Amino acid sequence: MIVRSAVLEGTVAEADRAAFDALARGSILPAITRYPGIREVRLRKPAETEAGAPPVYMIFDLYFDDLAAMHAALASPVRQEVRTEIAAAMKFFTGRVYHLVLEDVATLKGA
């Protein structure tokens, strides 16, 4: 399984957070689910931050079977449509966005 994480490192002004968060959940997240080959999309926000950690506002995690599926989704016309949804929300965000492409290599479940 491949996870492509879009990390939003920065901030949203207090007055704009409700609008930004609503766009992320109600517009961007559903739009991303239209990517061909996508298995799951998760939206995460920090619940607590350790001292010295970067100011991550939220993370979108996109799950694909493999790198080929991820690359196909990113090359699809759907991605260009989704970027329009993202652009509408990003006017509220100050910071940088970067992506991590990670491979699930092991999973253990606790008791």
74-85 average pLDDT score: 93
pLDDT band at 88 (very low <50, low <70, confident <90, very high): confident
State residue 85's pLDDT score. 86
12-38 average pLDDT score: 96
State residue 48's pLDDT score. 95
State residue 39's pLDDT score. 98
Domain 2-103 in CATH 3.40.605.10? The answer is no
CB atoms within 10 A of CB 16: 15
Q: How far is CA 108 from CA 4, 25, 41, 72, 111, in A?
A: 21, 29, 21, 30, 10
Domain spans, the chain: 2-103
Q: What are phi and psi of 51, to 5 degrees?
A: -60, 135
Note the pTM of the prediction, 2 decimals: 0.92
| Structure tokens belonging to residue 14 | 């207090």
Task: Determine what percent of the chain is predicted with pLDDT higher than 90.
Answer: 92
Instruction: Specify the 3-state DSSP secondary structure of 39.
Output: strand
State residue 67's pLDDT score. 98
Tens digits of residue pLDDT in 27-70:
999 999 999 999 999 999 999 999 999 999 999 999 999 999 99
